[in-house]
Amino acid sequence: MTKKRPVVGVIGSAHKVEGRFTAQRVGERNLRAVAEVAGALPLIFAGTPEITDIGALLEVVDGILLTGARANVHPTRFGMAEDPRHEPYDHDRDALALALIEACVARGVPLFGICRGFQEMSVAFGSSLHPEIRELPGRMNHRMPRLPNGEIHPDLAVVFADRHEVRLTPGGVFAKLLGCDTIRVNSLHGQGILQPGKRIVIEGVAEDGTVEAIRIADAAGFALGVQWHAEHAADRNPINRKLFEAFAAALTARRRR
């Protein structure tokens, strides 16, 4: 008999095809990290409340991966005013993801948030975000590398290259999982945590003070988030691989229970 693989729900993001047709999309790197490193079956679900029933979803999956996305979390979700400079937004994904995060943490469903997913986890538990973390005094530009003409750099090796260090909390969950107190990571984000919520435990900070790794305090199960794109080269990058392997262990434990 074939051994059943854990199932991981991977959230989709709204996208207009040819500017007319609404679609849900997920970057393939996320799916490959789930399949090839975590050893699970990735199952894409719509980041739309009218389509995705959270209760039904959590009866099917063994864990949830919240991916990065182009859209920012809408500022009204953390008590700030909307600014057209920080578009696009994805209101449906905000609504679905924030409710889903609370449900996963309460039920002990393994939850791994990456980039936007990290920000969603932060907001779900009371954090505020800054729309352009690079505008704060002393912060570096965390956005993806661009050419002098403003276009995104065409070489993915440059786009996803490690760009700064992250200092991990000694003895914390991340330090134990990764076996060290300092790592180097890629950086492709605009928003970042401004004020952390009460249940947001900061476990990793960049050289410039930007929060890069969190866990949810008193979560019933695995509930970790990273600001960098951990799905990139997850089969080869030792840091990203260990994170997906830890996620896999949580999925297996959940499935056995």
Tens digit of pLDDT for each residue in 50-65? 999 999 999 999 999 9
Residue 83 has pLDDT above 90, yes or no: no
Locate 132 and state its tokens. Answer: 């352009």
| Whole-number percent of the chain with pLDDT over 70 | 97
Residue 195 has pLDDT above 70, yes or no: yes
Average pLDDT of the chain, as a whole number? 91
The beta-carbon contacts of 209-214 under 8 Å, at least 24 apart in sequence, are: 209/138, 209/139, 210/133, 210/139, 210/140, 210/142, 211/122, 212/166, 212/185, 213/166, 213/168, 213/174, 214/118, 214/121, 214/122
Give me the mean pLDDT over the 207-235 stretch. Answer: 95
28-58 per-position pLDDT tens digit? 999 999 999 999 999 999 999 999 999 999 9
- Give the residue among 234, 238, 225 at the shortest CA–CA distance from 28: 234
Domains, the chain, with CATH or none:
7-256 (3.40.50.880)
Q: Active-site positions?
A: 115, 229, 231
Question: Is residue 211 classed as helix, strand or coil in its secondary structure?
Answer: strand
